[in-house]
Protein backbone atom coordinates (compact mmCIF):
# COMPACT_ATOMS: atom_id res chain seq x y z
CA UNK A 1 0.00 0.00 0.00
CA UNK A 2 1.66 3.19 -1.22
CA UNK A 3 -0.17 5.48 1.23
CA UNK A 4 1.07 3.50 4.24
CA UNK A 5 4.67 3.80 3.10
CA UNK A 6 4.20 7.48 2.31
CA UNK A 7 2.65 8.04 5.76
CA UNK A 8 5.75 6.57 7.41
CA UNK A 9 8.03 8.82 5.35
CA UNK A 10 5.90 11.94 5.68
CA UNK A 11 4.85 11.74 9.32
CA UNK A 12 7.97 9.99 10.67
CA UNK A 13 6.09 8.37 13.56
CA UNK A 14 7.83 7.02 16.63
CA UNK A 15 7.42 3.32 17.32
CA UNK A 16 4.86 4.18 20.01
CA UNK A 17 2.83 6.38 17.64
CA UNK A 18 2.93 3.61 15.04
CA UNK A 19 1.81 0.96 17.56
CA UNK A 20 -1.01 3.15 18.87
CA UNK A 21 -2.28 3.84 15.35
CA UNK A 22 -1.97 0.19 14.36
CA UNK A 23 -3.72 -0.98 17.54
CA UNK A 24 -6.57 1.48 17.07
CA UNK A 25 -6.93 0.61 13.37
CA UNK A 26 -7.23 -3.05 14.40
CA UNK A 27 -9.88 -2.07 16.93
CA UNK A 28 -11.83 -0.19 14.23
CA UNK A 29 -11.50 -3.14 11.83
CA UNK A 30 -12.92 -5.47 14.46
CA UNK A 31 -15.69 -3.02 15.31
CA UNK A 32 -16.58 -2.90 11.60
CA UNK A 33 -16.89 -6.71 11.57
CA UNK A 34 -19.05 -6.61 14.73
CA UNK A 35 -21.29 -4.08 13.02
CA UNK A 36 -21.55 -6.14 9.83
CA UNK A 37 -22.40 -9.33 11.73
CA UNK A 38 -24.97 -7.46 13.82
CA UNK A 39 -26.61 -5.98 10.72
CA UNK A 40 -26.82 -9.45 9.19
CA UNK A 41 -28.06 -11.05 12.42
CA UNK A 42 -25.20 -13.56 12.49
CA UNK A 43 -25.08 -13.76 16.26
CA UNK A 44 -22.32 -16.33 16.45
CA UNK A 45 -20.08 -13.98 14.45
CA UNK A 46 -21.06 -11.05 16.70
CA UNK A 47 -19.94 -13.07 19.71
CA UNK A 48 -16.67 -14.12 18.04
CA UNK A 49 -15.90 -10.57 16.94
CA UNK A 50 -16.68 -9.19 20.41
CA UNK A 51 -14.14 -11.64 21.79
CA UNK A 52 -11.64 -10.32 19.22
CA UNK A 53 -12.59 -6.73 20.14
CA UNK A 54 -11.60 -7.43 23.74
CA UNK A 55 -8.29 -8.87 22.55
CA UNK A 56 -7.39 -5.90 20.33
CA UNK A 57 -8.48 -3.46 23.06
CA UNK A 58 -6.12 -5.26 25.44
CA UNK A 59 -3.32 -4.86 22.89
CA UNK A 60 -3.90 -1.12 22.78
CA UNK A 61 -4.15 -0.99 26.57
CA UNK A 62 -0.77 -2.75 26.74
CA UNK A 63 0.75 -0.22 24.35
CA UNK A 64 -0.57 2.60 26.54
CA UNK A 65 0.52 0.86 29.74
CA UNK A 66 4.01 -0.12 28.69
CA UNK A 67 5.57 2.08 31.34
CA UNK A 68 3.22 0.93 34.12
CA UNK A 69 5.04 -2.21 35.19
CA UNK A 70 8.59 -2.90 36.21
CA UNK A 71 9.62 -5.88 34.12
CA UNK A 72 11.96 -7.14 36.86
CA UNK A 73 9.27 -7.28 39.53
CA UNK A 74 5.53 -7.33 39.98
CA UNK A 75 5.53 -3.78 41.30
CA UNK A 76 3.41 -1.28 39.45
CA UNK A 77 4.94 2.10 38.73
CA UNK A 78 3.04 5.36 38.46
CA UNK A 79 1.36 5.70 35.10
CA UNK A 80 3.37 7.61 32.55
CA UNK A 81 1.53 8.61 29.41
CA UNK A 82 3.35 7.57 26.25
CA UNK A 83 5.23 10.22 24.33
CA UNK A 84 2.99 10.38 21.30
CA UNK A 85 1.71 13.19 19.13
CA UNK A 86 -2.09 12.83 18.97
CA UNK A 87 -2.33 14.62 15.62
CA UNK A 88 0.24 12.27 14.11
CA UNK A 89 -1.53 9.19 15.51
CA UNK A 90 -4.88 10.47 14.21
CA UNK A 91 -3.44 10.90 10.70
CA UNK A 92 -1.87 7.44 10.79
CA UNK A 93 -5.23 5.97 11.84
CA UNK A 94 -6.86 7.73 8.88
CA UNK A 95 -4.41 5.86 6.63
CA UNK A 96 -4.36 2.46 8.38
CA UNK A 97 -8.11 2.18 9.07
CA UNK A 98 -9.16 3.23 5.57
CA UNK A 99 -10.23 -0.26 4.40
CA UNK A 100 -12.79 -0.55 7.22
CA UNK A 101 -16.20 1.17 7.34
CA UNK A 102 -15.76 2.38 10.94
CA UNK A 103 -12.31 3.70 10.06
CA UNK A 104 -13.57 5.67 7.06
CA UNK A 105 -16.52 7.04 9.05
CA UNK A 106 -14.49 8.18 12.05
CA UNK A 107 -11.26 9.15 10.30
CA UNK A 108 -11.96 10.61 6.85
CA UNK A 109 -9.01 11.51 4.64
CA UNK A 110 -9.67 15.16 5.49
CA UNK A 111 -7.90 14.69 8.87
CA UNK A 112 -4.63 14.12 7.00
CA UNK A 113 -2.78 17.42 6.93
CA UNK A 114 -0.16 16.66 4.27
CA UNK A 115 -1.76 17.25 0.83
CA UNK A 116 0.35 14.61 -0.92
CA UNK A 117 -0.47 11.95 1.67
CA UNK A 118 -4.16 12.89 1.67
CA UNK A 119 -4.24 12.65 -2.15
CA UNK A 120 -2.54 9.23 -2.03
CA UNK A 121 -5.11 7.94 0.48
CA UNK A 122 -8.01 9.33 -1.57
CA UNK A 123 -6.51 7.85 -4.75
CA UNK A 124 -6.16 4.40 -3.16
CA UNK A 125 -9.70 4.61 -1.81
CA UNK A 126 -11.02 5.47 -5.28
CA UNK A 127 -9.01 2.61 -6.84
CA UNK A 128 -10.48 0.19 -4.27
CA UNK A 129 -14.00 1.41 -5.07
CA UNK A 130 -13.42 0.91 -8.78
CA UNK A 131 -12.01 -2.55 -8.15
CA UNK A 132 -15.02 -3.47 -6.04
CA UNK A 133 -17.54 -1.93 -8.44
CA UNK A 134 -17.80 -5.29 -10.19
CA UNK A 135 -18.48 -7.04 -6.88
CA UNK A 136 -21.73 -6.62 -4.98
CA UNK A 137 -21.47 -4.57 -1.79
CA UNK A 138 -22.47 -6.20 1.49
CA UNK A 139 -26.18 -5.56 2.01
CA UNK A 140 -25.59 -3.56 5.17
CA UNK A 141 -23.55 -0.91 3.37
CA UNK A 142 -25.24 -0.84 -0.03
CA UNK A 143 -27.76 1.76 1.08
CA UNK A 144 -25.23 4.17 2.40
66-106 confidence digits (pLDDT tens): 755 555 656 667 778 888 999 999 999 999 999 999 999 99
Q: What pLDDT sits at residue 73?
A: 58
Is there a contact between 92 and 19 (Cβ–Cβ < 8 Å)? no
**Predicted TM-score (pTM) above 0.85:** no
Phi-psi region of 12 (alpha: psi -120 to 50; beta: other; left: phi over 0): left
Q: With bands split at pLDDT 50, 70 and 90, how would you rate the model's confidence at 50?
A: very high
Q: With bands split at pLDDT 50, 70 and 90, how would you rate the model's confidence at 135?
A: low
Name every residue whose Cβ is closer than 8 Å to that of residue 74 and which is 6 or more positions away in sequence. Answer: none
Tell me: pLDDT of 138 over 70: no
Amino acid sequence: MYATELAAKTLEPTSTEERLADDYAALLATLSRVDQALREGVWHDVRDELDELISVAEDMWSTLSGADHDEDSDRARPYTAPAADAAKVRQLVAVYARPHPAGRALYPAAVIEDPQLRAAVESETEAEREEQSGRPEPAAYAAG
